[in-house]
Structure formats: C-alpha cells, structure tokens
Chains A and B, each alone.
Chain A
Amino acid sequence: MKTKTGVRGGIGQSVRRVDGVPKVKGEFEYASDLRRDGMLWGETVRSPHPHARIKAIDIRAALESPGVRAVLLAGDVPGKKTYGLDAQDQPVLAWDVVRFAGEPVALVAAEQPEQAKQAATKIVVDYEVLSPVTEMEAALQADAPKLHPQGNVVRQLRVIHGDPEAEAEVWVEGTYETGMQDQAPLGPEAGLAVPAEDGGVDLYIATQWLHADLEQIAPCLNLPPEKVRLNLSGVGGAFGAREDVSMQIHACMLALRTQRPVKIAYGRQESFYGHVHRHPSRIWMRHGATRDGKLINVQAKLLVDGGAYTSTSPAVIGNATTFAAGPYAVPNARLEGTAVFTNNPPCGAMRGFGAVQACFAYEAQMDKLARAVNLHPIEVRLKNALKTGDVLPTGQRVTGAAPVRDLLSRCAALPMPPAESPLDRDRMLIPGGAGNVGHGEALTRGVGFAAGYKNLAYSEGFDDSSEAWVRLSVDQEGPLAEVKTAAVDVGQGLDTIVTQVVRTELGVQRVLVRQPDTAIGSAGSSSASRQTMMTGGAVQLACQAVRDEVLRRAGTSIIPDPLDEYLRPPIEATRVFRHRRTGKLDADGQGDPHVSFAFGAARAVVEVDTELGLVRVVQLAVSQDVGRALNPQSVRGQIEGGSAQGLGLALMEEIELKDGKIRNASFTDYLLPTILDMPPVVSDLVEEPEPGLPYGAKGVGEPSTVVVPAAIVAALRAATGRELPRAPVKPDELVGIR
C-alpha cells in the first residue's frame, strides 16, 4: 500500500474512533435526543392480542383529549397500506386482523408526551379475539388457521447434495432448540419527522439502511422518493433490530397530517414490541460418518419461527439451511429448511442471521460424533475441516480463504485460564457471584469447542452495492478530504475505517466523514458483516479516481508533496462498489448463493455449581478469520462484543412468550450479560487476505456470535454430562448432578 510517509492513522492501525470524543462527553446526538421547536410527540397504540379481528375503533375520546393534534388509523395511511423488507405484508396500521401482540393499530400526536400517552389509552378497539397459532409444528398442520393468504409457510427450501441416501458406519442424531433472542440495542427506536415546504418530509432517523427505509416509506406516504429525505441520526446500537422499519412511517404520517415536526421515541418496553427478534429454532440433525470420524452424510430438518410477518425470514432460513452442515467437507447431504408464520412477534435480522441457530445444532452433533468414534472434539473437526477449493452442499466451491484447520488448531492452543481453588478465591468469582449461597463445594469445570461460518454481504443473487463520494480540496490548514456515503455507523466503527481508507489512498491526514443521507446512492445495510468491504471498497474506488486526477494534474506517478497547488479547483469523484454476482438456488438448493465467508472457532471454559445450577464462564477464546485487520483494536472489540451476545444466548437471553405475548419486555426481566457475567475473551486474529475484497479484509462482526453459544453449551455438557439440547441453558437444567 502506498501510504505517504508522515500520514498517521491509515489502514492496519488501531486508530482512535472518529466519534469517540463527543461520545465520552455526552455530546453525541442520538435519535432519542432530537428536538425541534413546535415539535409534537407521537404515540403508538398496539394490539394486546396475538390474533384478533378488529371490529371497530372508537377514537372520539382520544380526539378530545388535552393536547391531541391527530389520531390516525389504517384508513389514514396515504398510500400503500403495507411494508416489509422482502414481501410487503406488514400493515403500517392493522385494519382487519392483528397477527401479533404489539401490532400497531393507531397513532396519536400531542403537544406533550404524557398527553399523547394519555390519549392513546382512550382509543377503544373492539376486538374479536381469535385463537393464536404459537407453535411452529401446529402452524404447519393442514387444519391450522391460515395467517396469510398463502398459508403459514414463509419459505421452504431443500439442499440435496451428492447421494443423500449414502450409508455410513456411525450415525449420531439429535434435536436442538434455540430461544428468541432480542438485539437489545441500548438506544431505543426513535426518530423525528419534519414536514417540508414541497409537500414532502424530512426524517431524522436511527437505522441500519437509509435507502431500504426510504423504499418502504415513500409508497406508504404516496410520495415520490425524492420528496422523502432521510438523514441519519445517532445510532445507539443495532445488531439487526434496525433493519426493519419501526416508527419511520408512523412519524412521517403524523408530521404530514399535522404539518408539525413529530418525534416518536420508544421506551424499553415498546422497543421489545417494536422490532423483530432472532428466530427461535428447532433443528433435527443426523450425521453419518466412517468409524474413524470422517463425515459421509448430513441430514437436517430446520424449523425457524418467523412470527407474524415475512421480514427477512426467507434469507434467515436460506442461511440456516445452506450452512447446516457446518464448516466441514461433507460429500452427501439432505438439508431441509422451513420458516413458519405464527402469531408470535415477527422475527428477522440479528447478528449471525440464521448461522447462529445452525451452528448450535451442527456443533452439538460434531461433539456427539467425536464421542461415538472416540476422538477429541478438535480431532473430529480437524478431520473434516473445510478448506479452499472444497464444495459446499449447495455445489458452491469455496474460492476464498477458508482457514478452518488453522482456526481450530490455534484456538485449541490459546492459553488456558489458570486452575483456581474452589474455596480459596474472591466470592465474586464463584458461579453466581455474591448471589451464591454456597461456598464453592460443588464446582465442576468443562471445556467446549465450536467452529462455524457465516456469509459476508447479501446472498442468493442480491446486488447490495455501495456508493461513495470523495472530494479533495485545500484550505488554510492544507489538504482536506471529505467523504460521503449513505452507510451507517451503528457503533461498529465504520466512519473510522472509512477515514483510514482515505488516509491510506490519498495520503491526506485531514478527513471529514459527512453525515449520511439519501441524497447519495444506497450503501446497502450495515448488516451481514458487509460495510467494511462494500463501503470501504466504494471509498477506495472513489479515492483512486481522485488520486488519478491528482497525478494527471501533477504529471507525476506518485502523489506530490506538497499537494496543495493541484487541488484548485477541488477534485471530486463518485464511485460504486459491487461484490461479485451470486445466484439463486435451484429446486434442489444448488447454485452459487454466497459472496464470501468468514469462519471462526471458539473455546469456552465454564464452571458449574451443580447444586445450584449456576454458571460462571471462566474464559472464552476465539480465533477468527478476518482476512486482514484494518483496525486491530476495533476488530478485537467486535469479537469481544459478539462473544458477549453469544454468551447471552447460551445462558440467559430469551424473550419468554406465553400464548404469543411477551412476558419479559424490560431489562429487569430480560437478562443481558453484565460485566460480572463476561469472562476475559482471548481473541486471535487469523489474517489470510481474501482475494477480490478491498485490502483482503473480511467483515468481522458476526463469527464470534455464531460460534460462542455452541462452545459455551458444549462446555456445559462437558462439565455436567447432560444433553442440554436447548439454549439458553437455564439453572434448573444444571442442578442435581450429584
């Protein structure tokens, strides 16, 4: 890389975050901090029933409530009545049937937030309560009530590979489940819609993908896209929760109706109802192998609960099914996946996106196989590890880096935590900490391993390109590079990576990343571990075009120093980055669906108090295939944070449903890992540059979340000898071992 000497903070360095200072000072403006003079507050009325027919809605009392400026129902939606990222089947406001508890049915705008809340309670909805379909298998019965015209199957696919009837010497079998996890970004959903003089609307919003929001909002408002302008506000985490629209259309409708700025800001409870969750899964698998542990045949049937609407379920079950054999060379397979509609809350994107659920099942199977053939868990994985050139069950050949063997060996060799005496230690280091009423008499340790993988960027033929604009100018302080994209820094540090790319490509120290909006072309979503390669790639291309012009003006072959005299007039370039084309799957699940893959391996060391069922994760070790670490500190931060969310799924995080209703919509009842729950994470970066990606860098956000749940539960099985087929593992599944 030709980085000009003297320029600090290019790629490969652990550069400080560009938004770090305002964030530590409390000055960074998040969507929930937005304010405007004359602003109204919007409130959403939601169905308390998971399945009901709306017979009538009486809004008269609400309209007369103090401070109320508008009450809107489905009939007030100016255009298309439904939205959605894939199928547009989710009502902006329900009009005939509600399909989940929490579904929006009415909106209120009032002068003060309390007035809006008060008025919302005065809206009387007359429901005919219908019996909810809350179990996946029940939803698939022929006589189940049809929740949508096409029935209760969101997507069904099968992957047939080799000879799925192939015989094996050893078979292992199991059925595994994962619960419904919440992304729980700390910043609740919020946004501010401001009516514009041209009859349009400006929306200030925390989202993951401005243009996907725009494409869904504009038709519902019956406005041309150019009259709906989205401006990114500060995003307090996302993890998939902001992939789907939440309050965007609602705030715009209220602003257009009242011709006043309208803010909607969810509280934590409403946030649990207002965004999609990680799909619960039930996965049956049967693995056949030779007596010495070489995989011959993998059979899988995967069910995921998509809840009430389509959201991204088709892609989630596509991932889960195509990854169901794991990062292993498997000659024969039959993998069948089904995403189901139920009256549970809608499920969609969350970090790991289908790969997490599959990994939990196939890695439990690999451990069963290891026991059946009397091999160490690492041995059986090494024996079957996928490598570059191997063919996946979809028929896709792995052309990029696939250092699975390396990851496994390196992860297994990472330093183990020291042994600790059960009795002679700080009480906080006993499972359960200060809450443990014992004295460490019944502690047992276990070690578990997992390997897994995940696609980078969108799959199955989707062209999720990214556009970037770069301008190089000069002022009193010297050269200045400005960058603009529509790509969202949700907290992962994209703006910093973009800054590093510009410094490296242009050799300019001062870089200004402008606030994203929809005036520039789409950058695609900040999801699927894709922004570093996609928007990083677009910025690199735009910088290269700018650099070419500098060199033309200077008549040199390297960037001149000083540069100033060549920057009048300033140089601008806009470029689009596209990943290689992928293809759809055929009827047997064959094709070329994925752009590229990131692999990971994890080792968990756990300690269980078998009398109380309490767990302490002593250490996590993660080796991850990162291609090239553009900002090593930030990469490790992603691995550590992804590991924490994996620990949450393994041990505590679950949206608990009863008859389709969420029972724990708060941080008091939905447990998140705290600093006492998180062990040290030993992260190991395996750098094997990926051909065809900018700087060879792979996305790094997801693999740790994919592998850590499986590794922790494997360690619990090793410690307790129990089957533990379901995550999260709760204390009552671990008590009474001896």
Chain B
Amino acid sequence: MRTNVNGEWREADIWPGASLLTLLRDAFGLTGSKNACEQGECGSCSVWLDGELVCACLVLAAQAHDRQVRTVESVADGQRMSAVQDAFVEAGAVQCGFCTPGFVVAVTHLLAQDPNPNEVQVREALSGNICRCTGYAKILDAVTLAASRLREDR
C-alpha cells in the first residue's frame, strides 16, 4: 500500500488489518503519534487523514491507501516550532509529554477551524484527549496563548 505522509509518498508492506498507528510507528518509524490506549479514548495518536482529525489507532492502515496523512512531525516548520507548540512549552502544559503530540495536533486543528474559541468550546473540542499529568489547566492556558498569538499574526 502507499500513502502520503507529511507530503511524501511512502510505501509499506503491511497486514491490511493493522492500524494506521501501527503503519506510522512501526513501518514508517514516525513514533511521535503515541500508543496510549489503542481504543480511541485518549487521543494520543491524533493525526489528520485528508485534513480530518482522527485517532490513528481507530483507522485501518488500508484506509490510508492513496490518501494524505499528516502527523505531529509535520507541525513544526523545521527547527521553528509552531505557535501551538511554543505555547505548550511556555504555559507549562507539558509534563511527561506522552499525551502532548496528540494535544498539539488536536489544538492545531481546533484553532485552524475556529481561531477564537471560548473556554467551553475548547474543553469540548479537547475532550477526546486525555492527559494524566497536568489536570488540563495549563493546557487551557496554552490554547488561549496560542490562539491570541495566531490572531495577532493574521
């Protein structure tokens, strides 16, 4: 099967029943997407499939054939972190960091859809991402910070 990952067409010989997460992590070595629950409950493996936010653990690798996948590894512009990534570090929204790539993807997606979400909207949008370390307060701070910086840049 072949799939476009972060702008590059890649091929893999993989059991079609494997998940997109397995394809990314084991076949392509893109381990930024995390394997925390593998049931679609925690959002640690959030990626974009043709621009749609999905849990890579709930998508079959075969479903990604001939489609575009974007992962957390594509969020930074080389050495330059995105506004969302920078805000996560600055706000102290990172502790163990295992949930962080999934949150970075989900927040990036949210702010692309809605540059000015209110707090309830942010909470609703991120309710599919579990963080066990932070209690979410600093994640909310990071979203607010990133949103305001992105609006300034526009």
Contacts and interface: CB of A to CB of B under 8 A. Distances in A.
Interface in B108-138: 120, 122-124, 126-138
B36 A25 contact: no
B1 interface: no
A707 B35 CA distance: 32
A666 B39 contact: yes
A547 B124 CA distance: 52
B36 A188 contact: yes
Interface string A612-643: 00000000000000000000011011001111
B64 interface: no
A23 B100 contact: yes
B36 A187 contact: yes
A21 B31 CA distance: 16
Given A187-B98, A640-B135, A676-B124, A666 B72 contact: no
A35 interface: yes
B39 A268 contact: yes
Contacts of A389: none
Interface of A: 14, 16-17, 19-21, 23-30, 32-33, 35, 114, 184-188, 234-239, 265, 267-268, 426, 428-429, 434, 490-493, 633-634, 636-637, 640-645, 666-668, 672-676, 678, 680-681
Contacts of A678: 135-137
B12 interface: no
A668 B55 CA distance: 14
Contact of B96 (A236, A673, A675, A680): A236
Contacts of A681: 135, 137
Contacts of B34: 30, 32, 186-187, 236
B138 A235 contact: no
A674 B130 contact: yes
A436 B76 CA distance: 39
4 closest Cβ pairs, A-B complex: A26-B32, A491-B96, A23-B97, A236-B98
Interface residues of B, number: 56
14 contacts: A24-B86, A25-B85, A30-B31, A33-B31, A268-B38, A426-B120, A640-B138, A641-B134, A675-B122, A675-B123, A675-B139, A676-B123, A676-B127, A678-B135
A268 B137 contact: no
B96 A187 contact: yes
Given A239-B132, A428-B120, A673-B135, 5 more contacts: A236-B98, A237-B96, A237-B133, A676-B127, A681-B137
A601 to B, nearest CB: 17
Main secondary structure of the interface of A (DSSP, over half): loop
Given A25-B81, A675-B140, A681-B137, A188 B73 contact: no
Given A25-B81, A491-B95, A667-B37, A641 B100 contact: no
B38 A186 contact: no
B94 interface: yes
Contact of B134 (A23, A267, A640): A640
A186 B81 contact: no
B61 interface: no
B90 interface: yes
Contact of A19 (B97, B120, B128): B97
B99 interface: yes
A600 B89 CA distance: 28
B130 A185 contact: no
B97 A28 contact: yes
B132 A184 contact: yes
Contacts of A35: 29
A186 B36 contact: yes
Contacts of B31: 26, 29-30, 32-33
A641 B135 contact: yes
Contacts of A14: 92
Contact of A30 (B76, B92, B98, B131): B98
Given A675-B123, A675-B127, A25 B98 contact: no
A186 B135 contact: no
Contacts of B25: 33
A333 B136 CA distance: 40
